[in-house]
Amino acid sequence: MSRSNLFFLAVAVGAIAMAFWYRQQVFQEKPVPTTPKLAFVTGGSGPYWQLTAEGARAAAKSLDCELDVELPQDDESLDQQMTILTRLNLDKLDGVALSPLDAEGQTNMINRIQQQTNVVTFDSDAPHSMRRGHVGTSNYGAGGICARLVAEALPDGGDVLVLMANLTKENMIDRKSGFEETLNKPPAEGAEEKSTPQYNIVGFLIDTGDATISKQNIKVTLKSHPELACIVGMNSQHAAIIMDVLKEVDKLGKIKVVTFDAEPAALEGIEAGNIYATIAQDPYKYGFEATRMLSTLSRSGADELPIVGGGTVNINAEPIRQNELKEFKDRLLARTTKPEKPKDVKN
């Protein structure tokens, strides 16, 4: 063989070897971590989000995972949450749990993260993204429960105001749909039209998580609808806001109130008879199950999930009325939380 042929053969062999090495580096499976490193990103730092973080920490401890809890300073702040997500060192993470504040707007971001590590959503979902799983409740069903509580509180019907932080989160969109469709459900066939109470939803008012805007929404509505019979708070912060405004205008106990989540203000309002009921979720379990799912994915891979749709853990919501309050409080005693310091996010 001539010297030139030997040279070209050596180059070809070297090229094949380099291609094989590159393929091995790029396509080799990520080693299974002995102690998965996970990030848990909430939608705020209020009591509700503290409970999700407490559940996540409990799961990480029991499953031997390293967990970094990231809480935006302000509830419902999409800018702060996105800043946290862009700062994550994905090369050193085996999974990210996220409660997306904008289901559609954050889909591309979630997809980019998923290309580098596992993503699981909790509380609120981004169903059109590539996330590997979701932990939450049926918010359409929770909205239906809320509507039935309004019907219990107002058996004769009346004007109803609904407060909402936003309509960008998947859970809020579903919650609104379930509420509206259940409350406006036509009477059963054969029922007398006169006996069917009429409910008039005077508005679904958005406050972007801002207490000042929410209070103003209530006050303006009370002036424009003096016969307002019920106020519904669709987010955890609304119970305290509604109680403050109704106390200020001397209407505590005169307007029925239905809220979401087991915030202290909601439970105190129920005990005092100023809130008819609240719909309790289980944020502690959301955090625990999301972390457990990430631990399983990082150690066992995709084989642990269904082929279609990823993995979903559905946790039921529960109505809490005054006669159910004591038993519910007893269940909460085992879940005392120590507030986590929120991240100081500068945009």
**Domain boundary assignment for the chain:** 37-137+283-316, 139-185+195-280
3-state secondary structure (DSSP) of residue 8:
helix
Across the range 231-240, mean pLDDT stands at: 97
- pLDDT confidence band for 27 (50 / 70 / 90): very low
3-state secondary structure (DSSP) of residue 318:
strand
User: What is the DSSP-derived secondary structure letter of residue 344?
Assistant: -
Rg of the chain over CA atoms, in angstroms?
A: 25
Residue in 244, 268, 88 with CA at minimum distance from that of residue 163: 244
Q: Which amino acid is at 225?
A: H
* Topology adopted by domain 139-185+195-280: Rossmann fold (3.40.50)
Report CA-CA distances (Å) from 277 to 24, 86, 328: 59, 39, 12
Q: Which contiguous run of DSSP H or E holds residue 40?
A: strand 37-41
Confidence (pLDDT) at 34: 87
Confidence (pLDDT) at 184: 83
Instruction: Report the 3 state secondary structure along 101-149.
Output: CCCCCCHHHHHHHHCCCEEEEECCCCCCCCCCEEEECCHHHHHHHHHHH
- pLDDT confidence band for 342 (50 / 70 / 90): low
pLDDT in tens, 261-307: 999 999 999 999 999 999 999 999 999 999 999 999 999 865 555 55
Q: Which CATH architecture has domain 37-137+283-316?
A: 3-Layer(aba) Sandwich (3.40)
Q: Which amino acid is at 147?
A: A
Look at residue 3 and tell me whether its pLDDT is greater than 70. Answer: no
- pLDDT confidence band for 24 (50 / 70 / 90): very low
Confidence (pLDDT) at 32: 73
139-185+195-280 matches 37-137+283-316 in CATH topology: yes
- pLDDT confidence band for 131 (50 / 70 / 90): very high
Look at residue 31 and tell me whether its pLDDT is greater than 60. Answer: yes
Confidence (pLDDT) at 88: 98
CA 243 vs. chain centroid, Å, equals: 24
Who has greater pLDDT, 70 or 189?
A: 70
Across the range 94-115, mean pLDDT stands at: 97
Collect all residues with Cβ–Cβ distance below 8 Å to 68 and sequence separation of at least 6.
Answer: 37, 38, 39, 40
Distance CA 215, CA 209 (A): 11
Confidence (pLDDT) at 214: 98
Distance CA 232, CA 278 (A): 10
Buried b (16+ CB within 10 A) or exposed e, 247-257: eeeeebeebbb
Distance CA 121, CA 180 (A): 26
Confidence (pLDDT) at 4: 53
Report CA-CA distances (Å) from 290 to 37, 84, 125, 149, 300: 14, 18, 12, 29, 15
Look at residue 198 and tell me whether its pLDDT is greater than 60. Answer: yes
Percentage of the chain lying above the pLDDT 70 cut = 81
| Beta-carbon count within 10 A of 162 CB | 24
- pLDDT confidence band for 7 (50 / 70 / 90): very low
Confidence (pLDDT) at 346: 52
> Do 158 and 227 form a contact (C-beta atoms < 8 A)?
yes
Strand partners of residue 294: none
> Do 161 and 214 form a contact (C-beta atoms < 8 A)?
no
